[in-house]
Structure 1
Amino acid sequence: MARKGLKACTKCNYITHDDFCPICQHETSENIRGLLIILDPVNSEVAKIAQKDIKGKYALSVK
């Protein structure tokens, strides 16, 4: 069985394998660039700048 590729939400950029984002339920796209991993959104300056409050993997750009 073939493994599905990574996709990212077109709204919040959350990376998943699903066709719809588990966070905001928007569609996902395979056309992604860059990777941002948030481990501690409460204490991370990068998470604050990126406006991410849920830990996980995010694409820097999604089309």
Structure 2
Amino acid sequence: MAEVKLNAAALGIAAAIIAAVVMLLLGILGNLGIYMGAVRMMEEWHMFFNLTPLGIIGGMI
């Protein structure tokens, strides 16, 4: 059976992309008034995230 090696760089990049997409979706849904509890938690956990366009981009970065 072949040995499976984990590519750590690819895993890290994939996780960062998924996290950025989730942050974008949370920002969009928060501006629509949906999932406000999750938005409030994200604002507490991430210092740059808020519901302004600049805040959403800052949270994604």
Question: Which TM-score bucket, shorter chain as reference?
Answer: under 0.3
Q: Which is richer in strand?
A: 1
Higher RCO (C-alpha under 8 Å, 6+ residues apart): 1
TM-score by length of 1: 0.26
